[in-house]
Structure 1
Amino acid sequence: MARIEERRNKNGEVTSYRFRVSQGYNSDGKQNVIVKTWKPPKGLTKAQLKKEVQKQAALFESECDLGLTVDSSITFRQLYEMWLREYAEVSLKKTTLASYNAMLKNVLKSIGHISLNKIQPHHLSDFYASLLGRAVKTNEAVTPAIDFKKYILVYDGKKYKHERMTQSELSRKAEVSLTTIKVLLKGKAISVKCAKKISDALGLEYKKVFNDVKRDNVSVATVKRYHAIISGIFKHAVTQNIIPVNPCTRVRLPKAPKPEAVFLDESEALRLLDELEDAPEPFRTATMLCLFTGMRRGELCALNWKNIDEDALLVCVRKNLTYTKEFGLVEGTPKTKSSIRDIKISDNVIEMLHEYKKWQDEYKYNLGNKWIETGKVFTNDFGGWLRPDTFSSWFRKFCKEHHFDKVHVHTLRHTAATIMIMNDIPLKVVSQRLGHNSTTVTNDIYTHVIQRADEMAAKAMDLSLFSKKKKDKSA
């Protein structure tokens, strides 16, 4: 039976009642108690009030037993911790969880303190509105404001009056990786945490030698991603009978224009292949395979030699490689179930891979015992896993040198899809080769390309039928 407590004002008058229902004990041995405060309507007699209090207490207890109540003591932050423990850490990929947690820092600052039974759609709408048009920090980073070669030893032919620290010494003293130091020396962004350690190790004032990275304003697409994450957390609360309704279902999101996929036309793709002739391995072959298959960069970097079936002419996509600062390189399953697929390739692609394998075997032989055997098709300089962002950085620099504007690794995937669509390959086949969940996804991404193909089809029909009919009439 629900426990009933009277709540009185300063004058000793009963103003409301508190109902407390025990729901057993948790794993720590603490009692789970759900509480509800009920304020009686005015005009009830003493007998009516007594009867109504008992009725409301019994109703509340029944709702508790059926799991239809909200524990008003649970805040969104507590729900997030529950979701993290019961679902996210068990079901999500490490890299996905890392990106979610980075974004959720902003969410918790805004609505983390609000009780679940008080969160309304307008709270979420206000949060989304506050995101639009301003920069939001997820991973804090800085860029060097000075030339650190003055303090870190590099063989640049310059002489300095003061002694410079070697990269290895700085790595040990600051407790940062050699890769971070090399990135710093190139003038690129590093994390705030590493920047402060390096400043301390070199005896420099952090704020004078580093600049904050200027961040882009939050887009509508990013707001929608925030919404999807928050909705997933509330959905967990609904399935656990903590709340009856997901408030995200009643939020009207801002509309965003659909960006058109950037791709190379056939002449640009052919020029790219020509320019790649003198490109270094493994990037040359990696770029060409990415263009021929439409694979994602993470799928390409995770590809093993055993995943290539020469007899069946197949590239079998089974893994995906991702990198985060929190977990480093992580090999897992591809993006979706449909991303696990077999892509048909030609004899020419097999021949290209044969030539590349000869190069890799010779390189491996020359490197001797320094080579790390991972079985990967594309590796770093010592046979280890090739970071997807390393491939992207090389390709971005390559495109800049050869005057390919606004082109990145994912452009190769869009180009593969576009060439297939423009050559009348059925949309279902295109979708399967790309690893999309459905043709709807493919259609949404490549709408403008499909429209162009449709226009070309109309012109072809016009040329084929009406032109012949006109000729017959004139004859």
Structure 2
Amino acid sequence: MAAIKKRGSTYKISVSCGYDINGKQIRHHMTWIPTPGMTARQIGKELNRQAILFEEQCRNGQVLDGNIKFIDFAEKWFAEYAEENLRPSTVQGYQKLMPRINEELGSRRIGKIKPADLTAFYKKLKSDGAKKNLIMYLRDNWSELLKERNLTQSEISRQSGVSTVQISKAAHGSGLMKKNAEKIAEVLELPVDEVFVIPESGKLSGNTVQHYHRAISSILATAVEWQVIFSNPCDRVETPKAEHKEARVLDEEQVMELIEAANNLPIKRRTFILLALNTGCRRGELCGFEWRDINWKHSTISVARTSVAIKSKGVITDDTKTAKSRRTIKLSEDMLALLKEYREDQDKQRLALGDQWIDSGRIFTTEFGGRLHPDTASKWYHAFVKKNNLADSCLHSMRHTHASLLAYAGINASALASHLGHSTMQTTMNTYIHAIRSVEDESADIMQTLLHKTDDQKSAS
């Protein structure tokens, strides 16, 4: 039964919920404040109702308190809130951050976490050496190193303990964790920096620190909603600043070189890369396209879903990044013709495989018709750029290049934001500010020519 104690003009309601594993009594408390103007009889009646309700909530596990450890509350948050309310990719991203967060805050009582604790944590994340799992990349002379020592990648794998798959991927441009890079360098009897390109700093970027801040804030915001704590300490911490990085963009000459090289690719990869360049869509949106999204009559394609790779579930279908990401994009005649050609090729493959074909409905599929893993598309692009010695870029560069070309052509920021599916025009302005400023400078020159005569023109008149 709930115990009630009057404290000035408020009432403290306490409920005992048994004992913890250490034999300590578990008690939950709440404070009830009567509404001004209530009579003594009304207060008594409402107080009794509040006590019964609170006791029921405690018995049903609906009430926690600030003494719960952060690690325990976070586990409950993922199971009861995040899985139901957040995008799978967001949940997976937050889960990847939890080991480091729990290392710092996991043992703390959630009600005892202060803004100063968070500030100290963010400072530690931004310090040199905070990036524990540095990713390193093989240097261009990898093949020569093997030939000089008469070694194969299989032999390197056997001696180092690093899988042949990881080594093969690294040879094609993927990164290796520091510990694996060190094992390979040891086999070659060379310093690590002679085999691998080592990142300049072990500091986490401001963008990454922001991800940590958002994860912690989301958890603690729910704790406030569930009345576990009174306020979110993240609200009283200065948000870590993200460094602005210039988008990697190809110029017109580099775009033409890319298109020329893409024309020699197998049709599926050619279609994927050129559709990325022609539409400016995100990787997940490209992998999420289905044939039904194309309106052949009106030459459009609609962004209605994304493909997301979740470690525990494989490639799944998810909603678009934001509501404004759902959009319809006009296709050029050449792009539409290429899609038709590719569809005929896919139909032949489907008929050849018969019952083995997986009817996912996707435009871009695996060999047997299943959903294409987004990372596979990135590897296609990386291998394509490296093989053809093209300007250094990644798959997402197609989106930046597409947007910049439109901006340089004079498309205004509002129309560009809508076309790209940005949630706000500010995102567009921040990302493509140089291209937009260039257009504004040109427009100023045009207005100068149209509205203001030069000195020579004035003299002539």
Question: What TM-score results when the alignment is normalised by the length of structure 2?
Answer: 0.74
Deviations 1:235-268 (A, max 9, x none): 1011112212110011123434311211112232
Q: Separation in 2 of the partners of 1:186 and 1:446?
A: 32
Corresponding residue to 2:323 among 334, 337, 340: 337
Q: What is aligned with 2:38? A: none
Q: Separation in 2 of the partners of 1:386 and 1:70?
A: 43
Structure 1 243/367 Cα, relative in aligned 2: closer, same or farther at 3 Å?
Answer: same
Q: Secondary structure at the match of 1:433?
A: helix
8 Å CA contact 1:318–1:341 kept in 2: the answer is: yes
Tell me, yes or no, if structure 1 residue 425 matches structure 2 residue 425.
Answer: no
Q: What is aligned with 2:99? A: 105
Q: What is aligned with 2:154? A: 149
Q: How does 1:260-279 map to 2 (within 5 A)?
A: 260-279=246-265
Q: Secondary structure at the match of 1:415?
A: helix
Q: What is aligned with 2:336? A: 350
Q: How does 1:15-414 map to 2 (within 5 A)?
A: 21-22=14-15, 33-34=27-28, 71-132=65-126, 133-137=128-132, 147=152, 149-150=154-155, 182-187=165-170, 216-367=202-353, 370-414=356-400
- The Cα of 1:2 is off from its aligned counterpart by 4.4
Q: Separation in 1 of the partners of 2:362 and 2:216?
A: 37
Q: Secondary structure at the match of 1:125?
A: helix
Q: Separation in 2 of the partners of 1:186 and 1:120?
A: 44
Q: Secondary structure at the match of 1:343?
A: strand
Residue ranges of structure 2 left out of the alignment (5+ in a row): 6-11, 19-24, 31-46, 58-62
- The Cα of 1:368 is off from its aligned counterpart by 5.1
Q: What is aligned with 2:44? A: none
- The Cα of 1:181 is off from its aligned counterpart by 5.6
8 Å CA contact 2:83–2:91 kept in 1: the answer is: yes
8 Å CA contact 1:70–1:243 kept in 2: the answer is: no
Moved more, 238-247 or 353-362: 353-362
- The Cα of 1:138 is off from its aligned counterpart by 7.3
Q: Separation in 2 of the partners of 1:346 and 1:141?
A: 40
8 Å CA contact 2:249–2:404 kept in 1: the answer is: yes
8 Å CA contact 1:380–1:386 kept in 2: the answer is: yes
Moved more, 440-449 or 229-238: 440-449
Structure 1 149/219 Cα, relative in aligned 2: closer, same or farther at 3 Å?
Answer: same
Q: Separation in 2 of the partners of 1:294 and 1:97?
A: 26
Structure 1 138/2 Cα, relative in aligned 2: closer, same or farther at 3 Å?
Answer: farther
- The Cα of 1:299 is off from its aligned counterpart by 0.9
- The Cα of 1:360 is off from its aligned counterpart by 2.4
Q: Secondary structure at the match of 1:442?
A: helix
Larger radius of gyration, structure 1 or 2? 1
Structure 1 407/113 Cα, relative in aligned 2: closer, same or farther at 3 Å?
Answer: same
Q: Separation in 2 of the partners of 1:219 and 1:244?
A: 31
8 Å CA contact 2:291–2:363 kept in 1: the answer is: yes
8 Å CA contact 1:102–1:138 kept in 2: the answer is: no
Q: Secondary structure at the match of 2:254?
A: helix
Counterpart of 2:74 in structure 1: which amino acid?
Y
Q: Separation in 1 of the partners of 2:410 and 2:103?
A: 51
Q: Secondary structure at the match of 2:231?
A: coil
Deviations 1:326-365 (A, max 9, x none): 3321221121111122112233321221122223233444
8 Å CA contact 1:95–1:324 kept in 2: the answer is: yes
Q: Separation in 1 of the partners of 2:133 and 2:416?
A: 35
